[in-house]
Structure formats: structure tokens, C-alpha cells
Amino acid sequence: MVDTKNSRPTGGDAHTSNTSTEPTPPKATPDTPSASWLDTAQYYWKYGMDDQRLQRLQQCRILERTLQACRDRNVSRPSLEEFPGGIRMIRYFDWRGYEGDDSCQRELHSVWACRGVGLQCGSDVVKLRHCFQEVGSDAVLRDVDESAGNAYETLNERAVCGEWQYQVGQCVARNAAELEARQRLRNSASDTA
């Protein structure tokens, strides 16, 4: 599974530079005068998109550190407003100007939304956003039932929009596992080359 805390597959460095050990796009040979445009497009789609996903997940690490600082009750912790990824999440969920308590809910939802966007779970994140808009920011950001666990990892119908949070979490877990499998295949192909 992709370690979303470190934003890379476990078991190796997932984002490598374009070196001679990395698979290369199809090339022309005497038997095949030119590589098909479809083969080349598929190569870039497969590896280029995975690299982009890994870069996006890397950006989520700032949000994860902010969430951890909040949970540790670090009074000098950075706020979401201090970096572009956090500002995007605040705008996306329409939490501008929110003067809430130290519940860490903004940070938690921002981390999972970032992971969702990075791993192609955008449609689920949009559904979660709509649910959040229906119940209102105050209800979402004051939902602090820590004993119930993280609704993104365990279905918690008591959490505000818990079923949608769980759906985002399931999509992230599924797509992270698929990304890791492709990265393992990519790494093993480069090891045999």
C-alpha cells in the first residue's frame, strides 16, 4: 500500500528520476519501423500519471504535519492558511474566516481531501463537500467524537457525513494499493533491464 504519510509506496523510492534503469517508452526497431503512437501514449499515461500522483501525495505531507501538530496541541503550529495546499482546502470547503476551537477537524478533512484528489477520488471528495455544505461548517468542524475513530478509515455513521468520509477513505485505500502495485511492477521492470 502507498504510505500516505510518506506519500510514497512502502518498499522503495517510488519517484525516481529518469535514469537508465527506469522503463523507457517504446522505440523503433528493425522489425518495427516506428513505435505506435498508442504505445507511446500508454507509456506516458501509465508512468507519467503515477509520477504526478506521487508528487501530489508529497504535497499532502505538509497537511499531515499540520494535523499532527494540531493533535499534539502544539501552540506554535502552522495554520492551514500559511501554505497553498491548506488555502486550497479552506476555499474548497468554504471554511474561510472560521474561528473555531482546536478540534483539528479542518486539518483532518484537508488531509483526506488532499489524498483523495491525489489518488483520483475527486468525485467522492465532491460528494463529501456537498454533504458538508448541506449540514454547515459549524456542524462539520465541531464534530469531535474521537472515541468513534477516524470515519475515513472505519465506517462511523455518528460522524457528520460519516458515510461519505468512509467512501473517500475506501477510494484512497484502493487507489493507493493499485498505485503501489504499479510502482512495484515498474521497479521490478527496471531491475531486470
Note the pLDDT of residue 43.
58
Q: Grid coordinates standing for 83?
A: 501554505
Angle (nearest 5°) at CA 67 between 63 and 73: 145
Note the pLDDT of residue 11.
40
- CA-nearest of 142, 65, 57, 62 to 99 is 142
CA distance 182 to 47: 9
End-to-end CA distance of the chain: 24
Residue 63 identity: L
Whether 100 has a pLDDT exceeding 70, the answer reads no
CA distance 43 to 24: 8
Encode pLDDT of 27-40 as tens digits: 544 444 455 656 66
Whether 16 has a pLDDT exceeding 50, the answer reads no
Length of the chain: 193
The lowest-confidence range among 65-79, 83-97, 104-118, 134-148 is 134-148
What integer is the mean pLDDT of 10-36?
Answer: 46
CA distance 133 to 112: 17
User: Percentage of the chain surpassing pLDDT 70?
Assistant: 64
Sign of CA dihedral 99, 160, 118, 77: positive
What integer is the mean pLDDT of 132-151?
Answer: 74
Place of cell 495546499: 85
pTM over 0.75: no
- CA-nearest of 178, 31, 53 to 120 is 53
Q: What is the pLDDT confidence band of residue 165, given thresholds at 50, 70 and 90?
A: very high
Place of cell 509520477: 51
Looking at the DSSP assignment, which residues form a beta bridge with residue 3?
A: 8
- Helices 49-71 and 84-93: crossing angle in degrees, nearest 10, is 80
What integer is the mean pLDDT of 61-86?
Answer: 81
Q: Grid coordinates standing for 9?
A: 509506496
Encode pLDDT of 74-83 as tens digits: 667 677 888 7
Strands (E), 2-99: 2-3, 8-9
Domain map of the chain by residue range?
Answer: 50-192
